[in-house]
Amino acid sequence: MTRLLPFLLLFISLDVFSQSYHEQIVKHRENYKQDFIKESNSPLQESDFQNLHFYDADSNYKVIAEVKILKNEKVFKMPTYDGTSKEFYRYAKINFSLNGKATIMTLYKSIALANNPAYKDLLFLPFTDETNKKESYGGGRYIDLSSKEIVNNKIEVDFNKAYNPYCAYSEGYRCPVPPEENDLQMEIKAGEKNYTGEKKHRR
């Protein structure tokens, strides 16, 4: 029994971590839903929440990425799904291992939001993966991060917090198209899935 004790303690601690992490993601998703109600230009109402679906929380999709801040990057126009564009610049490259595969992605910063004190630290991580058009929205998904979260050239990226753009629910929004450099050649079975409600038309 003495020899088994360390293994039992490890098993218990891992189980507690799993439960705690699951609860964190549940809370995050509840807050995510509430933001639709608070947002004045939201495409969804509370009655639509039954059509929101998510992958089960999986801590394997939470990674610590190495960050390389980019210098002297030019502003470029990121296309949106309504045929217009929004101005961004490449803020940093991040690299990490996900499901045993070395992965490199780009973080972006919005020019418009950078000038708003409430969003000046916001970093944008749009991506596509091989679940798109099958289990998740065909136009890709987004993750929000903050430059304040970069510590010692590292940042936590949690794909369980990946969410759909408003264009997944309704026409009439200017949702950025994830750049090709963030097209992941793997399935990201984490975060938000396909919306199963009828697509709306913004007035």
Taking the chain (203 residues) in consecutive chunks of 10 residues, what is each chunk's mean pLDDT?
Answer: 46 55 96 95 96 97 98 97 96 96 97 91 98 98 98 98 98 96 98 96 74
Q: Which pLDDT score is estimated for 201? A: 84
165 domain residue, yes or no: yes
Phi, psi dihedrals of residue 188, rounded to the nearest 5°: -105, 90
| β-pairing verdict for 154-158 and 141-146 | unpaired
Q: Which pLDDT score is estimated for 87? A: 98
* Residue 132 lies in domain: 47-198
39 domain residue, yes or no: no
| Gap between the Cα atoms of 133 and 152, Å rounded | 37
Number of domains forming the structure of the chain: 1
27 domain residue, yes or no: no
Distance of CA 153 to the CA centre of its chain: 20
Closest Cα partner for 42 from 169, 150, 136?
169
Q: Which pLDDT score is estimated for 8? A: 43
| Residue whose structure tokens are 């799904």 | 81
Record the tokens describing residue 105, joined without a space.
């992605």
- Vertex 191: Cα angle to 202 and 170 (nearest 5): 10
Closest Cα partner for 101 from 125, 124, 130, 123?
130
186 domain residue, yes or no: yes
> Which residues make beta-bridge pairs with 68?
93
* pTM, full prediction: 0.89
Residues 6+ apart with CB under 8 A from 172: 82, 201, 202, 203
125 domain residue, yes or no: yes
